[in-house]
Structure 1
Amino acid sequence: MIISVINTTQLKKEEVQKKLRAINRQLAEDFKRYWHRDIELRLEGWTGKTPDPKKPINMRGDAVLYLWDQVDVDDAIGYHDLTGVGVPFGFVFTELAAELGEDWSVTLSHEVLEMAMDPEANLLAEGPHPDPKEDGRTVFHWYELCDAVQGSKYEIDGVEVANFLLPLYFTEGDEHRNHNDFLGTGLGSFQVGPGGYAGFLDPETGEHDTWIRPRDNKATHRLVVKQQHKGVMRADRHKGRERDAAIVDKNTVHCEAVIFELDDTVALPERLHTAQQLARTVLGDGWELQRSPGDPNEYDALYRGSTAIGFAQAWQLAHELAEDDAVVYAEPSLSFPVAGEFEQAHDGPARALRASSRGSSSHKAGTEIPAWGLELCRVPKAWQRIEAEHKRPGAGVRVGHPDSGYRPHDEMDATRVMTQIDFDFLGGDSETISNKGNHGLATASVIMSGTGGVDDRIKGPALHAEIVPLRVTKPGWIRPAPVLIGGGMRRLRDAIDHAVKVHC
């Protein structure tokens, strides 16, 4: 797991890198030997002004942590949580760390360790209530590795890092000499050390809560400071959070249909009636049934309701549908926007879409030549072998291209872009050329860009292949955006059927 770190503060890069290096040593040499997970921090660039948890546009790894000065980010959901599309993210506020009397490296180490173990912030461990007055009744502890021992820390290469819990802390059997944390402070299972606290879900109240040791002034001060800032405490985030708000946003994942196939044993005259009855009884109101164009046994239940259906609910409906003996399989068709596209139209000539390959911006070592990717994959050598047989690379190949549509460009050979047989599965027509087709243009260029001219800046490996644009994705900000999910399974399926019909 790679966690991208985005520095939006005035901290010098050298200082940030020094502390990331120390925490990476902690992850590799201390954390991994107990928890058996490979985690690495990587400092990334910063391309925005305000982080939006639903749009982690700077992320290059599997999760993202922002270094931020003041706790003034609108609707920032505390330290670590999930974006609207399930990407783990978090904030480390340097001024809050100073207010709590600790170096921000300790806070960063704390959040990294907890994100590494519970990136979705949803794991719980059954154990006794931390308050002895509760006589050990069962609660469900947050799977947080540092909260109970956050009053202790240690140094690596002169950088302070957080102490952390070991696996047997989350069991009721005591480890030998209570060695339940890295520093071996003698903490018992499910107990709380000085300066720390325990967070848990109380099954009797149905609420998330926290507990600190009596008369622990340091822990009390920490909780008071955190509670002054909206959303910093995990308990606050669980209480009253409107999780469904994310799926209502048109830029996040939602269910557009449920696809299901009936068993061959269902008689042909009865199939439509059976499908309609299943959709009505299992899925309920707000669904429109259509027969799949490519399979007489397959049906699409299109969702027409006004309230968005999210990822988990969509799969639950599909599982319920699949439980019927007449159903071979069922799965939701999920949709969210494709990367790098925008709702508003782009101004300027189409040439600007490829400006980054022509401009004077700095290059990473080895990428100064536009064709560096082809060189790395040894494509020119493949071309030589093909041309030695008096053939042209890609000639005779027709590629079906499901993406965000297409936008003309002077380095794309228009005679090989088969717009006469393309199709827009969003608009339901044969017009895939769109001012929102930037992503489709970019990926098409990776496949077959180039007119054969000596001035071509970008060339695709299949220089003489034909390509059929098939628009299946919506514009938006989400990154990354796999077409398999971003385009919706149903549209992708129909695009593949169409590609076959036009001899791709």
Structure 2
Amino acid sequence: MLTHHIALVSKTRHIKTSDLSKVAAALQKQATRDLGPIWDIQATVDAFELLKDVPGGYWPIIIKDNIHESGAAGYHTDKYKQPFALVQFDEGWALTSSHEMCEMLVDPFGSRMVSSGSIKQGQGRVNYLVEVADPCEDDKFAYSVNGIMLSDFYTPNYFDPVSSPAVRYSYTGAVTAPKQILRNGYLSWLDPATGKWWQATYFGTKQVINDISDKMEMLQGSLRARIDRITPTPRLTEGVSKQFVKMNKSHADNQEKSGTSTTNHWEQEINRLIKPRKVISAK
């Protein structure tokens, strides 16, 4: 199995090196324990203080103070068609980094589609763009890894033709049926019969389906890069909720207490091994 390599890089002074390393460790665990087995993916995640330190072959996730445009955040490809992601720094930067990592690993080049029945009445089988974190991207559905709140993501069963109570549709179980869109999430697809692009969003009080063909045709780049640019989600435009900030802090505090206990344990073990012993002289 080919191993993908992700580089987490901060270009903001608001993130300490220790915090960047903690988030990279949480992302590594998510990739190895959660995402990898479900999507048959193998990946490494490493933190780098500087872009120039990132080795060749790594796909960077870059956190910046200001992206300047909400639609600019998200997936991109460089001039060599290699993937990278831009993340706007805010209180949910780790959550957004997780979102981008999951989508980048499942669909590195932003063009993967799956055929399934349309959620729009009157359409037959359509081609859904695989964006594993978009239908469940709201911070309400995040889960904790190493005390850091990360993004939920859907499973390959998300596009099943029928629903089953025995099937897992997203990692946390928040998605309970095929092609379900949770609050503040969205789903995009191509109708091959007409050549039109459609998008279902749940940004208000109900789900809305719109024809986005004209917007898609105005832009260049991969399918996912275009979708990201024309979809200013509540997460990008409004940031994370107060409830998320409170929950994130609670998990971080619990992890810090656990870390203090672990530190004390290892300090005791180190001292036990290297503590100078008294030499008993022979009489």
In the superposition, the TM-score normalised over structure 2's length comes to: 0.66
Q: Tell me the secondary structure at the aligned position of residue 81 of structure 1.
A: strand
Q: CA deviation at 1:121?
A: 0.2
With over 3 angstroms needed to count, the CA separation of the structure-2 counterparts of 1:30 and 1:14, relative to structure 1, is same
Aligned to 1:121: 110
Structure ranking higher on relative contact order (CA contacts 8 Å, 6+ apart): 2
1:27-426 matches, cutoff 5 A: 27-46=31-50, 58=54, 60-72=56-68, 78-95=73-90, 98=91, 103-131=92-120, 134-135=121-122, 137-151=124-138, 152-213=141-202, 215-216=204-205, 238-243=216-221
- Once residues 235 and 155 of structure 1 are traced to their aligned partners in structure 2, the CA distance between those partners, rounded to angstroms, is 37
Q: CA deviation at 1:36?
A: 1.8
* Runs of 5+ consecutive residues of structure 1 not aligned to the other structure: 49-56, 221-233, 245-504
Q: Tell me the secondary structure at the aligned position of residue 239 of structure 1.
A: helix
Query: Percent of pairs identical after alignment?
Result: 19
Contact 1:4 1:62 in 2 (8 A): yes
Q: Tell me the secondary structure at the aligned position of residue 22 of structure 1.
A: helix
- Once residues 18 and 66 of structure 1 are traced to their aligned partners in structure 2, the CA distance between those partners, rounded to angstroms, is 16
Amino acid at match of 1:8: K
Structure with higher helix content:
2
Contact 1:81 1:119 in 2 (8 A): no
Q: Tell me the secondary structure at the aligned position of residue 160 of structure 1.
A: strand
User: Following superposition, which runs of at least 4 residues in structure 1 exceed 6 angstroms of deviation?
Assistant: 234-237
**What is the total number of aligned residue pairs between the two structures?**
213
Amino acid at match of 2:7: S
Q: 2:8 aligns with which of 5, 29, 36?
A: 5
Q: CA deviation at 1:4?
A: 1.5
Contact 2:7 2:61 in 1 (8 A): yes
- Once residues 171 and 195 of structure 1 are traced to their aligned partners in structure 2, the CA distance between those partners, rounded to angstroms, is 22
In the superposition, the TM-score normalised over structure 1's length comes to: 0.38
Note the aligned Cα RMSD (angstroms): 3.1
Contact 2:67 2:73 in 1 (8 A): no
Q: CA deviation at 1:186?
A: 4.7
Amino acid at match of 2:77: L
Amino acid at match of 2:68: D
* Runs of 5+ consecutive residues of structure 2 not aligned to the other structure: 223-283
- Once residues 107 and 3 of structure 1 are traced to their aligned partners in structure 2, the CA distance between those partners, rounded to angstroms, is 14
